[in-house]
A and B are shown apart, each in its own frame.
Chain A
Amino acid sequence: MTLGKVFRAVAPPVVFGIIFLGTWELIVKVFDIKPFLLPAPSAIWAEFIDRSDDILDATLVTGANALIGLLFGVAFGIAMSFVLMRFQVANELVTPLAVALNAIPIIVLVPVFNNMFSSTTEVPRRLMVTLIVFFIVMVNVAKGLRQVSPTHLELLRSYAASPGSILVKARIPNAVPYLFTALKIAAPAAVITAFVAEYFGGRQNGLGYSITSNAAASRNAASWAYVIGACTLGLIFYLAAVGLEKATSPSQRSTTQQSGALTPGGVSV
């Protein structure tokens, strides 16, 4: 990517952001809106600088919960997807269940987990994140392992390839893009879950708790300052997932075809 391309990609959202924040600031000033209703961006920024150490600590707590839950969820999800691929019965049992679970807000299980496990630890929150990530990864990766092109399967059978070879040569590579799709959904979902789980009690150290407690005390600007931390955390997770995809599969169809670049080996984009 050239500098010009980067500029063209980044400039529109940045300009929009500046206009948006400027208008916000102006409206608060002109209409003299009280800080407990809507604090001005400048006030939020001042709080953010003032509390930057606390915000960083809270972000690290929530971020660690999200990351640990994400890692466990991905590991269990991948493991289970192989079971679903291998056993049709398991697939028929678990997949509808997973879809149904996606339709209900299972985050409400946090209070139950808080009772089951000590709410003075981070376990209930991490468990909740694991559970959410698990289903996203399992369903997607199982799909990738199963939906191999019929031509590929017929070809491998014509080579008398063993089921193990078919797994390694066709199913697993086929599932890799599905895993990254799952990661791109699961990474921000992990942050949201870790963060919202704090709303349901437990230890008082993360971003979610800080936002609710400051809001309850009508320290709106402080609440918003922690929201900045939350936004940053979500972005970091998403960008890490995208970056991981780019780094491990530079020759994926999606990335190079969009840029239209015909590059030898498809390595550089």
Chain B
Amino acid sequence: MTVRGVPQAVISDAVVVDRVSMVFNEGKSNEVEALTDVELVICPGDFVSLIGPSGCGKSTLLRLIASLLSPTSGSVLVNGKSASQARIEQDYGMAFQKSGLFEWRTVEKNIELPLELKGWGKAKRRERSAEMLELVKLSEFASHMPWELSGGMQQRVAIARALAAHPPLLLMDEPFGALDEMTREHMQAELLRICAASQTTVVFVTHSIPEAVYLSNRVVVMSPRPGRITEIIDVDLGSDRDEDTREEAGFYGKITAVREALRGAEAVAGPRGIEDR
């Protein structure tokens, strides 16, 4: 298998999703076909967004990569290992729409949690959490409790926690979905900066077209019933994106491309949905 002409011996893929199908409640009356025959290869350093309407299986796909779910058929490789092995070795960090900070732990203790579970010593943990806090620019809040922070700050702590063990892969499920528009744009810029600094591959689930285009170098468009990938759009806006990027013609062009892909996906799904009845 080759990726962009580079043999596998030289470059190992960050994520390989191979003919994966996912059926919930198989054989029961409430059976749901969440994903059908999904194939996706993500290269190291990629920022890939999964976008699509509710029920298209984008969160399910993310959880399959995270090995929080097991596929009904097909296989998922992360860092060249099975997804479950990658989970055991903490090869990825994860962030959700809810920051999921532990309210009885200070900010730095929250960031240290994955390291505690890895069995790191206290001094090493403290050193790493200080480094991560510097990365997300929250150093002066190290000993604060989570609820003393704003929503955007909490989400930055959650990202710092996800990256604390320096995993090569970051999985994010609508992490900025609960933030207001201004904070959201600020967080997007911060995320790009952080990922560039830490050289992390990202798989990012979102509902927002501008968010997907601004962040990603590839946007994966999905459609529901059954969940599948309908189109993958390359976004070549360069790696040094800033606030001005949002006003470039190329940015708007890609937003239009993704929107049309989403409409196309719905046009395909629509009649099928009707036929099924």
Closest to B165 in A: A159
**Least Cβ distance of B98 to chain A in Å?**
5
Interface majority SS on A: helix, strand, loop or mixed?
helix
**Least Cβ distance of A160 to chain B in Å?**
4
Taking a contact as CB atoms under 8 Å apart, the answer to whether A266 and B145 are in contact is yes
When distances are taken between beta carbons in the complex, the residues of chain B under 8 Å from A252 are: 104
Taking a contact as CB atoms under 8 Å apart, the answer to whether A152 and B100 are in contact is yes
Taking a contact as CB atoms under 8 Å apart, the answer to whether B148 and A158 are in contact is no
Taking a contact as CB atoms under 8 Å apart, the answer to whether A265 and B144 are in contact is yes
Instruction: Verify if B103 is at the interface (C-beta below 8 Å from A).
Output: yes
Q: How far is the CA of A264 from the CA of B142 in the complex (A)?
A: 9
* B residues 20-46 in Cβ contact with A at 8 Å: none
With contacts A151-B96, A157-B68 known, is A170 near B117, CB below 8 A? no
Instruction: Verify if B90 is at the interface (C-beta below 8 Å from A).
Output: yes
Interface residues on B, range: 20 to 34
Instruction: Verify if A173 is at the interface (C-beta below 8 Å from B).
Output: yes
Instruction: Verify if B48 is at the interface (C-beta below 8 Å from A).
Output: no
When distances are taken between beta carbons in the complex, the residues of chain A under 8 Å from B148 are: 262, 266
Instruction: Verify if B102 is at the interface (C-beta below 8 Å from A).
Output: yes
Q: How far is the CA of A165 from the CA of B88 in the complex (A)?
A: 14
Interface residues on A, range: 20 to 34
Taking a contact as CB atoms under 8 Å apart, the answer to whether B147 and A170 are in contact is no
* B residues 58-99 in Cβ contact with A at 8 Å: 66, 68, 87-90, 92-94, 96, 98
* A residues 168-209 in Cβ contact with B at 8 Å: 169-170, 173, 176
Contact bitstring A135-157, B, C-beta under 8 A = 1, else 0: 00000000000000101101111
Q: How far is the CA of A256 from the CA of B145 in the complex (A)?
A: 10
**Least Cβ distance of B54 to chain A in Å?**
18
Contact bitstring B121-137, A, C-beta under 8 A = 1, else 0: 00000000000000000
Taking a contact as CB atoms under 8 Å apart, the answer to whether A159 and B68 are in contact is no
When distances are taken between beta carbons in the complex, the residues of chain A under 8 Å from B157 are: none
Taking a contact as CB atoms under 8 Å apart, the answer to whether A160 and B88 are in contact is yes
Taking a contact as CB atoms under 8 Å apart, the answer to whether A265 and B87 are in contact is no
When distances are taken between beta carbons in the complex, the residues of chain B under 8 Å from A152 are: 100, 102
Contact bitstring A236-269, B, C-beta under 8 A = 1, else 0: 0000000000000101110011000010111000
With contacts A165-B117, A253-B103 known, is A155 near B96, CB below 8 A? yes
Q: How far is the CA of A145 from the CA of B90 in the complex (A)?
A: 26
Taking a contact as CB atoms under 8 Å apart, the answer to whether B92 and A176 are in contact is no
Q: A160-B88, A264-B143, A265-B144 are in contact. List 13 more A-B contacts (CB 8 A).
A: A151-B100, A154-B68, A155-B94, A159-B90, A159-B117, A160-B90, A160-B117, A161-B117, A169-B113, A169-B116, A173-B102, A253-B145, A262-B148
A-binding residues in B (CB < 8 A)? 66, 68, 87-90, 92-94, 96, 98, 100, 102-104, 106, 113-114, 116-117, 143-145, 147-148, 171
A-B contact pairs, 12 of them (CB 8 A): A151-B96, A152-B102, A155-B94, A159-B90, A160-B88, A165-B117, A169-B113, A173-B104, A262-B148, A264-B144, A265-B144, A266-B145
